[in-house]
Amino acid sequence: MGLQQSDALDVERIREDFPILEREVGDGRPLVYLDNGATTQTPDRVVDAISEYYRTYNANVHRGIHQLSQEASIAYEEAHDAVADFVGADGREEIVFTKNTTEAENLVAYSWGLNELGPGDEVVLTEMEHHSSFVTWQQIAERAGADVKYIPVTDEGTLDMDAAADLVTDDTAMVSAVHVSNTLGTVNPARELADLAHDHDAYVFLDGAQAVPTRPVDVAAIDADFYAFSAHKMAGPTGIGALYGKEEILEEMEPYLYGGGMIRKVSFDETTWNDLPWKFEAGTPSIAQAVGFAEAVEYLEDIGMESVKRHEEHLAAYALDRMAEFDDIEVYGPDDPTDRGGLVSFNLDGVHAHDLASITNDHGVAIRAGDHCTQPLHDKLGVAATARASFYVYNTTDEIDVLLDAMDDARELFA
């Protein structure tokens, strides 16, 4: 297969970093991995960093006296610095390692929301929230006696910011919005949402699970109060993610989990908390994963996030163009590829998304089918499920052609 290069990245070179891409699947088809919105593949460099940790300095952190613990502690702490740098945070105090984006949402909802929200307060979400934010805030608001409102999605798949201006009021305590939609691909106006929240003395939480992997993100420029993302969607390992929080806000918040590592002093009468970010990292953390997360961040920095973004847009534009050739393909989300991340959700007339994904699988093409953890948005779109192709640094336009060819097969089978 000849590789189509975008002008942004040397994809052929990058593919060498990911041996999994040489796999054959099904009946001997080359793997075409277009499920990056769910999880990305892991370059050798990251696997090697994790392996080196286990082979040479595996030990518990929290500054044990012996040498291995010292080395592991330094690597674990410096991983916070690397991630902080990557998203423009002020320092490690503002980066809490969590299990994933979902846990970051829960941390803030439980720690801040359950303590601070009450009757009369409002949480403003969007209709395109992932369940990780949607369900979390819905449930915590209910427990706290607060109300939830939703910023509508327009027919073009963008947020209705005029409606948002009316929905966010002095009763709003939190605006929680997805930065890049994992279903529509929409890139939401993060700074505008932050300004709107701040004009009413509310906080803003941005779900960056699809944004941080695919474009330069600067939490300070956005003026986010909280910002969450997962390593496994950005060339890193599973089991670790990050919550960015402004230091002064995290300082004021109650711990989320109690136990070892997060304390300063424990007595029979009272306990005091450790410094940030350790106050929010109870128990033995994901040390190997943190080492892998830092390596992934450095890998992406070496490629350059502007280039990653251009490549994503290039692939999205190509996929949108190719799909527009067919009347029986319905694409969801904004038409303009520069308004969206590198993913396309679609349906093929007369073929259920699950059947389509099964047929593309026979061609070696991994796509996702279902509601992508956005059931309320699917209700709004009037469909139970969509198919989704999502791209990363190693994908090519040729691979999108393989997907389109597989869809031809689906047409024939279901005609």
* Residue 399 three-state SS: helix
CA separation, residue 291 to residues 51, 65, 67, 80, 95 (Å): 10, 20, 17, 10, 15
- Per-residue string for binding with ligand PMP, 66-95, x by CB under 6 A? ------------------------------
- Per-residue string for binding with ligand PMP, 284-323, x by CB under 6 A? ----------------------------------------
Measured distance CA(382)–CA(268) in Å, rounded: 57
- Per-residue string for binding with ligand PMP, 162-191, x by CB under 6 A? ----------------x---x---------
- Residues numbered 328 to 367 that lie near ligand PMP (CB under 6 A) are none
Min. distance of Cβ 104 from ligand PMP in angstroms?
A: 8
**For ligand PMP, the closer CB: 73 or 101:** 101
H or E segment to which residue 101 belongs: helix 101-108
Give the start-end residues of each E strand in 121-270: 122-126, 147-151, 172-178, 203-207, 226-230, 241-245, 263-266
CA separation, residue 193 to residues 3, 8, 331 (Å): 39, 30, 26
- Per-residue string for binding with ligand PMP, 117-146, x by CB under 6 A? -------------x-x--------------
Which residue among 373, 387, 400, 406 contacts ligand PMP (CB under 6 A)?
373
Contact 387, 353 (CB under 8 A): yes
Q: Is 373 labeled as catalytic in the residue annotation?
A: yes
Min. distance of Cβ 103 from ligand PMP in angstroms?
A: 7
Min. distance of Cβ 238 from ligand PMP in angstroms?
A: 8
* Residue 391 three-state SS: coil
Min. distance of Cβ 271 from ligand PMP in angstroms?
A: 29
Measured distance CA(387)–CA(403) in Å, rounded: 11
101 makes contact with ligand PMP (CB under 6 A):
yes
370 forms beta bridges with 386
**Burial, 15: exposed, middle or buried (Cβ in 10 Å; 0-12, 13-18, 19+)?**
middle
Query: Choosing from 211, 353, 373, 381, which is the catalytic residue?
Result: 373
Measured distance CA(260)–CA(279) in Å, rounded: 10
Measured distance CA(293)–CA(50) in Å, rounded: 9
Choices 52-60, 98-106, 270-278, 337-345 (CB under 6 A): range interacting with ligand PMP:
98-106
The dihedral built from the CA positions of residue 74, 75, 77 and 81, taken in this order, carries a sign that is: positive
**For ligand PMP, the closer CB: 60 or 238:** 238
Measured distance CA(192)–CA(195) in Å, rounded: 5
CA separation, residue 211 to residues 63, 207, 217 (Å): 34, 8, 7
Q: What is the DSSP letter of 395?
A: -
**For ligand PMP, the closer CB: 102 or 289:** 102
Which residue among 36, 102, 347, 360 contacts ligand PMP (CB under 6 A)?
102
Min. distance of Cβ 205 from ligand PMP in angstroms?
A: 11
Measured distance CA(274)–CA(92) in Å, rounded: 14
Measured distance CA(319)–CA(243) in Å, rounded: 32
**For ligand PMP, the closer CB: 80 or 388:** 388
Contact 322, 401 (CB under 8 A): yes
- Residues numbered 186 to 245 that lie near ligand PMP (CB under 6 A) are 207, 209-210, 230, 241
Min. distance of Cβ 73 from ligand PMP in angstroms?
A: 26
Phi then psi dihedrals of residue 347, to 5 deg: -135, 150
**For ligand PMP, the closer CB: 11 or 237:** 237
**For ligand PMP, the closer CB: 181 or 397:** 181
Min. distance of Cβ 228 from ligand PMP in angstroms?
A: 8
**For ligand PMP, the closer CB: 111 or 132:** 132
Number of residues near ligand PMP (by CB under 6 A): 15
Number of other CB atoms surrounding residue 77 within 10 Å = 15
Min. distance of Cβ 371 from ligand PMP in angstroms?
A: 11
- Per-residue string for binding with ligand PMP, 9-48, x by CB under 6 A? ----------------------------xx----------
The dihedral built from the CA positions of residue 221, 225, 231 and 233, taken in this order, carries a sign that is: negative
Binding residues vs ligand PMP (CB under 6 A):
37-38, 100-102, 130, 132, 178, 182, 207, 209-210, 230, 241, 373
Which of the residues are catalytic?
Answer: 373
